[in-house]
Amino acid sequence: TNSVKEALAGGSKVITALDYRGVEVFSAYKPMEFMGANFALVAEKELVEVLAPFQEMQRIAIIIALGIIGLLAVIALFLSRT
């Protein structure tokens, strides 16, 4: 992958890229030398998996906001009748 090529060329970054399956991933890489041999240290995690907690938090925030709006509407309706 491009991450491995860039790490072996001496680069070190955290990027979003396509992995060998064509899936978008967060890819962190850096070169590593061990006993005179060059290695590429690469860690990848699927973008969908990384963003899942944020999407769940967004759903919960929307549900809470709708609940508060509904509660305020009921209170306003009750107060307007008296």
pLDDT tens digit sequence for 5-42: 888 888 888 888 888 888 899 989 898 888 888 888 88
Q: Which of 37, 40, 19 is nearest to 29 (CA)?
A: 40
Q: What is the pLDDT of residues 41-59, one digit of tens each?
A: 888 999 999 999 999 999 9
Q: How far is residue 75 from each of residues 61, 63, 72, 80, measured CA to CA in Å?
A: 21, 18, 5, 9
Per-residue pLDDT, 82:
65
Per-residue pLDDT, 3:
81
- DSSP letter at 22? S
C-alpha–C-alpha distance, residues 29 and 17, integer Å: 12
